[in-house]
Amino acid sequence: MRLKLKQMMAVSLSAAMLLAVAPGEAVFANVKQGNIVNTKLMSGDTEKSGGSEASEYGNLMYRDQLDDSDITWSVYDSGKLVIEGTGATPDWSPWFYYKEQITDVIIGDGITTLGERNFMNYPNLKTVTIKGVLSKISNSAFEGCKQIKSITATGAVNAAGKKVLQLGECVFKDCTGLESVEFTGSLAVSKNAFEGCTSLGSVKVKESDMALLGNYAFLNCTKLTEADIPGKLLIQEGAFFECTSLKKFDFSKVSSIGKIAFYHCSSLENIVLPENVTTIGNSAFQGCNGVTSLNIPGTVKTIGEYAFYGCENLKELVIDEGVSSIGKHAFAECKSLETITLPKSAALGENIFTDYRPIKTIRYTGTREEWIAAGLNQNNFYNATVYYEYTADHKHTFVTYTYTYTNSCTEPGERVTKCKDCGYIQLKETLPAQGHDWEVVSEKKATCKEEGLQNLKCRRCGETKKVVRIGAHQFSSWQTIKDATVFSPEVQIRTCNVCGYKETRNNGKKLAATMKVNAAKLPLKIKQKTTVLKVSGLANGDSVASWKSGNTKVVKVSGKPNGTCTLVAGRKKGKTTITIILKSGLKKKITITVQKAAVKTAKITGMSKNLKLKKNQTVTLKAAVAPLTSLQKLKYKSSNKKIVTVTSKGVVKAKKKGNAVITVQSGSKTVKCKVTVK
């Protein structure tokens, strides 16, 4: 007993500390604890009440039983809180000390009611599992639980055998992470129940005979797109206030609509009111810009003030006979309204319409005299045609009207086929505007250097305008006068055909520098002189700027800008490089090796294996030695001079039909070419 007293004193001290640090949560600090086995558990220690115990929920951290109740609650190291037993949880939070650790709540199937503020502002609570049925989730039970994403609950069966669930005030207020809710049974939603649930997108209710949506129940649920709530509906003040994403709502069993119920539900596309609605509250649908047409049945006796104020896309309005009162400004600022059907039964408030310009057709069930007596001023509807004694079941009599503006060149005309008794339009087509018929009143001609000016006047409407004619040269096509080089792009010129002014321009880019050398390396015999090294493939405008030997004792070089040069080997063997630099800056290096022995042919290139000729035809063979500096000359020989002859320079001549072989030799290397004369 002494130990228990000390433990309870420790709890009281902890509560006092919480009151000092967090006064906003004081209501939860003043709690009455049950049998606390170890006070270390209150600061998150891992010891278990009553020893170690493991279950499907994890290892037990703490367990307690509520006074005067068989309800027990257990906290596990997994973050789960399990509430079991029968009856209602109290209107406070017995497990408050574990609010930081609790991530998941499991409600056993014997729990019938969740008390007020049971989980208010639990920062890490993510899931709620309700195993049984509930008659009520009380005020602020989950208020401020920002990480909960979904809620599913089923109502308890009442004495009449119906499932019913009551949601208390602010029960899910500011649950900003809540995305969807689903309830089974008839539903009573108290005021501000889902206020500020800015992520809530879907509300679904099943097996519902009736639902009450309390004041501001879904206030500022800005992502709510769907509210599927069957059964008879009572919609109270501001129930869907500022639900700007709500697109569709089933009004078929709605019996009452409170003031500002759908205020600024700007995405709501269709409002189909059933005959059991008797009253539409003030500003009930104010700012519902998605609505384009509206039919209010005669069972609605009162349309409140500002009821549809600012429904800017509403084009057609039908108010059936039987409506007795339309409040002031009910349809004011409906800036797209074109067609209106008004009953004579309705007493009209002041300024029910304020923007008369777009209104073109008014169907009034009363007489002209009743129209005047109702205080409706024809002058206000200056663009509209009023059809008196209108009946919805009359037979249309169609007439075609053509509207044109004879003195206007820019106004399009219109051809309309419509009923002469109600204005119903069967067919409408736009006639193109006539357009201006300009004539030149005075003119100053443009020159190559000065602008011209025409003063024009429309023959039809008299409108005038000035037209500036831009002075400009009449140029020929561009012609190239200088080709692109490695240093500059192509230059073009064009000439004005009127005044002879010439204009030049650069076209494209300068050429890329290129260079080909017929050998990457060359061997030379001591004192050998050669001109075989050549540079080619230079871009236009480029040339060889310099030839330079890396070691003049090994080889000397003298070259020309056109790419030819003379190499003279020194008196001793060695190795160096010849550097070739173009005027454009492009460089290449050739390796030169000077040796004592004469340079021999390593191979013969440029020869075809077969050659076909006609009688008396001549051709020059393209044989070449490698390396180019070989001192072994090419020799040519025909195997049958009666058929084919060949000169020392490789000129082959066909004599008569037959076959012969030309042998080309340089040193020890030979190649053969079979010649066929046809």
**Domains (range + CATH), the chain:** 398-431 (no CATH), 438-469 (no CATH), 516-595 (2.60.40.1080), 604-677 (2.60.40.1080)
Q: What is the pLDDT of residues 245-264, one digit of tens each?
A: 999 999 999 999 999 999 99
pLDDT above 80 for 407? no
Confidence band of 487 (pLDDT split at 50, 70, 90): very high
State CA 119 to chain mean position distance: 39
In angstroms, the first-to-last Cα distance of the chain is 132
Longest Cα separation, the chain: 139
pLDDT above 90 for 577? yes
Among 109-123, 176-190, 376-390, the minimum mean pLDDT is found in: 376-390
* pTM passes above 0.85: no
Beta pairing, strands 80-84 & 104-107: parallel
pLDDT above 50 for 2? no
Average pLDDT on 188-210 reads 97
Confidence band of 597 (pLDDT split at 50, 70, 90): very high
By CB neighbour count within 10 A (0-12 exposed, 13-18 middle, 19+ buried), where does 403 fall?
exposed
CB neighbour list of residue 24: distance below 8 Å, 6 or more residues apart: none
Confidence band of 578 (pLDDT split at 50, 70, 90): very high
Strand ranges for 66-195 from DSSP E: 72-76, 80-84, 87-88, 104-107, 111-114, 127-130, 136-137, 150-154, 156-157, 163-167, 180-184, 186-189
Closest Cα partner for 292 from 308, 315, 262? 315
Q: In three state form, how does the secondary structure of 218-234 look?
A: CCCCCCCCEEECCCEEE
Distance CA 56, CA 68 (A): 28
Cα radius of gyration rounded to whole Å, the chain: 51
Distance CA 72, CA 64 (A): 6
C-beta of residue 187 within 8 angstroms of C-beta of residue 165 = yes
3-state secondary structure of 476: coil
Confidence (pLDDT) at 378: 59
C-beta of residue 328 within 8 angstroms of C-beta of residue 351 = yes
C-beta of residue 257 within 8 angstroms of C-beta of residue 235 = yes
Confidence (pLDDT) at 22: 33
CB atoms closer than 10 angstroms to residue 2: 6
Closest Cα partner for 340 from 380, 382, 293, 300? 293
Closest Cα partner for 164 from 187, 131, 141? 187
Q: What is the pLDDT of residues 614-673, one digit of tens each?
A: 999 999 999 999 999 999 999 999 999 999 999 999 999 999 999 999 999 999 999 999
Distance CA 28, CA 14 (A): 12
Distance CA 312, CA 466 (A): 40
Confidence band of 379 (pLDDT split at 50, 70, 90): low
State CA 144 to chain mean position distance: 32
C-beta of residue 629 within 8 angstroms of C-beta of residue 605 = no
C-beta of residue 513 within 8 angstroms of C-beta of residue 542 = yes
Residue type at 56?
Answer: E
Confidence (pLDDT) at 44: 38
More confident residue, 263 or 358: 263
121 φ/ψ sector (left φ>0, alpha ψ -120 to 50, else beta)? left
C-beta of residue 280 within 8 angstroms of C-beta of residue 304 = yes
Backbone angles phi, psi at 616, to 5 degrees: 70, 5
Which alpha helices (H) appear in 52-91, and where do they start and end? Answer: none
DSSP H or E segment with residue 414: strand 413-419
Distance CA 496, CA 210 (A): 88
Distance CA 517, CA 393 (A): 100
Beta pairing, strands 302-303 & 325-326: parallel
Closest Cα partner for 117 from 87, 94, 100? 94
Distance CA 552, CA 544 (A): 19
Distance CA 673, CA 660 (A): 9
Backbone angles phi, psi at 89, to 5 degrees: -75, 155
Distance CA 515, CA 163 (A): 94
The DSSP line for 245-307 is T--B---TTEEEE-TTTTTT-TT----B--TT--EE-TTTTTT-TT--EEEE-TT--EE-TTT
Distance CA 515, CA 602 (A): 26
Confidence band of 449 (pLDDT split at 50, 70, 90): confident
Lookup: tokens for 361: 């057709």
Confidence (pLDDT) at 392: 84
Strand ranges for 28-137 from DSSP E: 54-55, 58-65, 72-76, 80-84, 87-88, 104-107, 111-114, 127-130, 136-137
Q: Alpha carbon of 552 to those of 99, 487, 566, 568: distances in Å? A: 93, 32, 13, 9
More confident residue, 8 or 199: 199
% of the chain beyond a pLDDT of 90: 76
